[in-house]
């Protein structure tokens, strides 16, 4: 139980800082509805759980491979952020769209896009490895039950954050005017695209240093 609680705190700590994924979750909740935000958060929590598995089960070879390809992953993630930023900019608030329920395909796209976005962020695996090592949890991987409990706690903590965020933002959605919602979409698009441009610049500088 203590390991699960530790994992939950780690998941919350990793998920809580507001970055491109958080902005995307907020923007989708406001423009598409609460379920879009929840599924977006679930995708990020799934990626956190995946990296928690790598760190928790001590898969050194896989983590080494991810770190070896961190520049390439950063380029892919940066380009993906530029695309998501452009998509966020052009997505109108839900009140301007046809009043239909979210489709399964649309919700699946929300889940898969944040899963890919979080999985291509090399800082995620670095954060997990650093926290697990710093807290003396690296050796847990020798005990599969303990490692599984820890990883499940990481997933639960991350998912709890995204549920709270999407639900809280969803409560505000009905109180905001169309003009404010439209401004939020545009501002989110610019910020997410800015994160993408920053990731590409960082990858370029890293490549120049390697050479």
Rounded distance between C-alpha atoms, residue 67 and residue 125, angstroms? 8
Residue that has been written with the tokens 């998920």 in this structure: 15
How far is Cα 143 from Cα 150, in angstroms, rounded to an integer?
11
The pLDDT > 90 percentage for the chain reads: 9
- pLDDT digits over 137-180, tens only? 555 555 677 777 888 888 999 999 999 888 888 888 767 767 77
Average pLDDT score over residue span 27-47: 88
Residue 185 near residue 89, CB atoms below 8 Å: yes
Asked whether residue 120 carries a pLDDT value surpassing 70, the answer given is yes
Q: What does the alpha-carbon distance between residue 62 and residue 95 come to, in Å, rounded to a whole number?
A: 45
Residue 33 C-beta-side C-alpha neighbours within 13 Å = 13
Residue carrying structure tokens 């399964």: 104
- Ramachandran area for residue 35 (φ above 0: left; ψ -120 to 50: alpha; else beta): alpha
Domain span at residue 203?
Answer: 2-210
pLDDT of residue 121: 78
Rounded to 10 deg, the angle between the 122-134 and 34-56 helix axes is 50
pTM exceeds cut of 0.85: no
Closest CA to 191 of 26, 12, 13, 35: 26
Do 8 and 153 meet the contact criterion of CB atoms below 8 Å apart? yes
User: What is the reported pLDDT for 45?
Assistant: 92
Count up the domains in the chain and report the number.
Answer: 1
The confidence score (pLDDT) of residue 92 equals 65
Q: For the segment 52-103, what is each residue's pLDDT rounded down to a tens digit? A: 887 777 666 666 666 677 788 788 888 888 888 887 787 666 544 444 455 6
């Amino acid at each position: 139980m203590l390991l699960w609680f530790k994992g939950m705190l780690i998941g919350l700590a990793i998920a809580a800082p507001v970055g491109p994924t958080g902005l995307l979750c907020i923007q989708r909740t406001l423009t598409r509805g609460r379920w879009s935000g929840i599924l977006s958060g679930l995708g990020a929590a799934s990626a956190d759980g995946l990296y928690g598995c790598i760190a928790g089960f001590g898969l050194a070879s896989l983590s080494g491979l991810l770190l070896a390809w961190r520049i390439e992953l950063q380029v892919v993630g940066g380009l993906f952020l530029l695309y998501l930023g452009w998509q966020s900019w052009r997505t109108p608030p839900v009140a301007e769209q046809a009043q239909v329920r979210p489709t399964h395909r649309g919700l699946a796209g929300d889940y898969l896009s944040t899963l890919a976005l979080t999985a291509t962020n090399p800082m995620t695996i670095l954060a997990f490895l650093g926290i697990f090592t710093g807290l003396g949890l690296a050796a847990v991987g020798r005990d599969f039950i303990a490692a599984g409990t820890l990883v499940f706690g990481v997933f639960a903590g991350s998912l709890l954050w995204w549920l709270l965020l999407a639900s809280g933002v969803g409560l505000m959605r009905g109180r905001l005017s169309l003009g404010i919602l439209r401004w939020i979409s545009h501002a989110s698009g610019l910020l997410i695209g800015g994160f993408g441009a920053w990731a590409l610049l960082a990858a370029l500088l890293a490549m120049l240093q390697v050479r």
